[in-house]
Amino acid sequence: MQLSKKLEGNKLTITVSGRVDTITAPEFEKYINENIESITELILDLKDMSYTSSAGLRVILKAQKLMSAQGSMTVINVQDDVMEIFDMTGFSDILTIE
Amino acid sequence: MIINLKGRIDSSNAAETESKIKEQIGDFTGEITLDATDLEYISSAGLRVILRLKKANASTKLVNCNSEVYEIFDMTGFTEMMNISKAYRKLSVEGCEVIGEGANGIVYRTDPDTIVKVYKNPDSLDEIHNERELARKAFVMGIPTAIPYDVVQVGDLYGSVFELLNAMSFGKLINEGVSVDSLARQSVEILKTMHSTMLKDGELPSKRQEAIGWAEYDVEHLPSQIATKLVDLMTAIPETNNMLHGDFHIKNIMQQNGENLLIDMDTLSMGHPVFEFAAIFAAYIGFGCVDSENCAKFLGITTVQCREFWVSTLKYYFVGKDEEYINNIQKMAEIICYARILRRTLKRFNGENEGQKAVIDFCKNYLVENIPDTQKLYF
């Protein structure tokens, strides 16, 4: 799993690539928590994310909760396999996906 | 009526396929299911056949499509027009670690993050879908719970896939020395989240209807005045749409990385929160009405801890209320709880079992003594 970020004012884009699983999810969570202070618009760009386990889903869910208290979160460029997981679990009903 | 679609349907055989299907349908007007298990490919000519079938009978649906066939239906907009479902993902549990076994199924760990509960009865598909739908509903409505995945086929059986929580139950935490009071306080937070989640009419089963059913069942076993008043009291509880867990106790609350999550969502319902308290009371005290060790044994903690958990739950949920108010809530919970246990035990009673007889007598006596002074069963 690789993480990178781009900041434009109060808008932050975090790009996630590779696999998010039990081993890498804590790092993903820490990365989000360390970077979203005073951010009102969070974009999660998942174009290179090939897989997420429930641990990764839970991180996304927590980010969504944090962001709905301070602004908004949008998930973009979701790959088919990951989208299938979002659909299966009901995540596509609770996230803003573009 | 189930009609099997086979092989490829394209311009070379669409007309023939259509007349065969029509022959099969004849003048049948009921629900038609097209089973696509063996369907490999469908061209636009085939799609037009499906379209005409759907027009002729609006209930026509397609099941068990493989991914390629499903994609064709999806791309062409058919999935929005009619009920089309994919085949269940096939999963093998060979060599998987068994992590639990219950009366109706076995739970396997399929990978580090997921478990599958495989049901022993091959006809349990409806039950599985129902349980998964409830879990999913709670999940998307923001209730902290294990993430529900899909329904899968395991050989001839079906299973439900869930996230594996790397967690300890509140029961275990109590045994590890965590204070009952602090866990009860945390459990109330989840309870309040749940009870403040309002559902649409009919979205979940009504607990009030179920409870009226308990009271009506008890009628012939109670003195007539008591019986009538019990049904009236139960009926007078307002029908509300608050989400209720239905089996809220320390074995069903898990802690994972400092986050508390609920499991076992198959008893999810909606109604007045008083019903939740009746079920909580049952778990900590009510089921032990004759033998107080019952609850302790089931929950894996001591009788004193059971009582403490219950008292603290009331204290934190009704913070700021005086003792009289809280005692009154407990009384309501007791009456609903014992009406339920009476019916449940009567249903199982074979006329001999001394333990069951003692429970029945206890519940009857309790209701006879306490119903006359009760004004209402809701707050």
Q: Is the pLDDT of residue B67 over 90?
A: no
Residue type, A80: D
Give the end of a domain, one of B119, B142, B163.
B163
Q: What Cα–Cα distance (Å) separates residue B20 from each residue in B91, B201, B365?
A: 34, 44, 68
pTM confidence score: 0.83
Residue type, B361: D
CB within 8 Å: A88 and B142:
no
Residue with tokens 């298990």: B37
Closest-CA residue in chain B for A86? B149
B313/B196 same-domain check: yes
Q: Is the pLDDT of residue B116 over 90?
A: yes
B251/B102 same-domain check: no
In order of start, what are the domains of chain A with their CATH numbers?
Answer: 2-94 (3.30.750.24)
- Tell me how far apart the terminal alpha carbons of chain B are, to the nearest angstrom: 50
User: How much is the pLDDT for B83?
Assistant: 92
Mean residue pLDDT across chain B: 94
* 8 A C-beta contact, residue B85 and residue B63: yes
Q: B92 in a domain, yes or no? A: no
Q: B379 in a domain, yes or no? A: no
User: How much is the pLDDT for A35?
Assistant: 96
Residues A69, A26: Cα–Cα separation, whole Å = 22
B328/B198 same-domain check: yes
Q: B227 in a domain, yes or no? A: yes
CB within 8 Å: B147 and A55:
no
Average confidence (pLDDT) over B264-282: 96
CB within 8 Å: B136 and A55:
no
CATH number at residue B30: 3.30.750.24
Q: Is the pLDDT of residue B248 over 90?
A: yes
Q: What Cα–Cα distance (Å) separates residue B313 from each residue in A21, A55, A70?
A: 36, 30, 31
Q: Is the pLDDT of residue B299 over 90?
A: yes
Q: Which residues of chain A have pLDDT under 50?
A: none
User: How much is the pLDDT for B122?
Assistant: 84
Residue type, B267: T
Average confidence (pLDDT) over B306-335: 97
Average confidence (pLDDT) over B31-38: 93
Q: Is the pLDDT of residue B266 over 90?
A: no
User: How much is the pLDDT for B127?
Assistant: 86
B357/B252 same-domain check: yes
Average confidence (pLDDT) over B96-112: 88
Across A5-19, B97-111, B317-331, B349-363, least confident range:
B97-111
Q: B378 in a domain, yes or no? A: no
The H or E element spanning position B12 is: none
B6: β partners: B38
CB within 8 Å: A94 and B142:
yes
Residues in A closer than 8 angstroms to B197, CB to CB, are none
Which A residues in the span 48-87 are in contact with B, Cβ-Cβ below 8 Å? 53-55, 57-58, 85
In angstroms and rounded to an integer, the radius of gyration of the C-alpha atoms of chain B is: 26
CB within 8 Å: A90 and B149:
no
B186/B55 same-domain check: no
How many alpha carbons fall within 13 Å on the CB side of residue B305? 23
- Tell me how far apart the terminal alpha carbons of chain A are, to the nearest angstrom: 22
In angstroms, what separates the C-alpha of B91 from chain A's closest C-alpha? Answer: 15
Q: Report residue B338's pLDDT band, with 50, 70 and 90 as the boundaries.
A: very high
Q: B250 in a domain, yes or no? A: yes
B83/B216 same-domain check: no
Within chain B, residue ranges assigned H as helices are 14-25, 44-56, 67-75, 78-81, 125-140, 170-175, 180-195, 207-218, 224-236, 274-284, 293-299, 303-317, 323-348, 354-370
Q: B63 in a domain, yes or no? A: yes
**CB under 8 Å to A93, separation ≥6 — which residues?**
B140
In angstroms, what separates the C-alpha of B113 from chain A's closest C-alpha? Answer: 6
A contact test, residue of B111, B113, B260 with most A CBs within 10 A: B113
Q: Which domain holds residue B23?
A: 2-87
Average confidence (pLDDT) over B26-53: 94
**Does any CB of chain B come closer than 8 Å to the CB of residue A7?**
no
* 8 A C-beta contact, residue B268 and residue B243: yes
B82/B222 same-domain check: no
Which among A21, A55, A93 has CB closest to B140? A93
Average confidence (pLDDT) over B112-121: 91
Q: B319 in a domain, yes or no? A: yes
Give the end of a domain, one of B145, B163, B181.
B163
The overall longest dimension of chain A from CA atoms, in Å, is 35
In angstroms, what separates the C-alpha of B149 from chain A's closest C-alpha? Answer: 5
Residues A9, A45: Cα–Cα separation, whole Å = 17
Task: State pLDDT tens for residues B128-173.
Answer: 888 888 999 999 898 999 999 989 999 989 999 999 888 899 999 9
User: How much is the pLDDT for B130?
Assistant: 87
- Residue B135, both tokens: 């879990």
Which among A21, A89, A94 has CB closest to B148? A89
* 8 A C-beta contact, residue B219 and residue B227: yes
Residue with tokens 């970077």: A35
Q: B330 in a domain, yes or no? A: yes
B contact test, residue of A85, A89, A96 with most B CBs within 10 A: A89
In angstroms, what separates the C-alpha of B153 from chain A's closest C-alpha? Answer: 15
Which among B113, B136, B142 has CB closest to A55? B113
Q: Is the pLDDT of residue B104 over 90?
A: no
Domains contained in chain B, number = 3
B113/B8 same-domain check: no
Q: Is the pLDDT of residue B187 over 90?
A: yes
B183/B259 same-domain check: yes
Residues B132, B139: Cα–Cα separation, whole Å = 10
* 8 A C-beta contact, residue B283 and residue B299: yes
B269: β partners: B244
B281/B198 same-domain check: yes
User: How much is the pLDDT for B341?
Assistant: 97
Q: Is the pLDDT of residue B351 over 90?
A: no
B146/B172 same-domain check: no
- Residue A95, both tokens: 């996230």
Q: What Cα–Cα distance (Å) separates residue B377 from each residue in A55, B96, B151, B260?
A: 42, 48, 40, 30
Tell how many helices (H) and how many strands (E) occur in chain A: 4, 4
Within B167-262, residue ranges assigned H as helices are 170-175, 180-195, 207-218, 224-236
B125/B182 same-domain check: no
User: How much is the pLDDT for B312?
Assistant: 98
- Residue B334, both tokens: 């007791």
In angstroms, what separates the C-alpha of A69 from chain B's closest C-alpha? Answer: 14
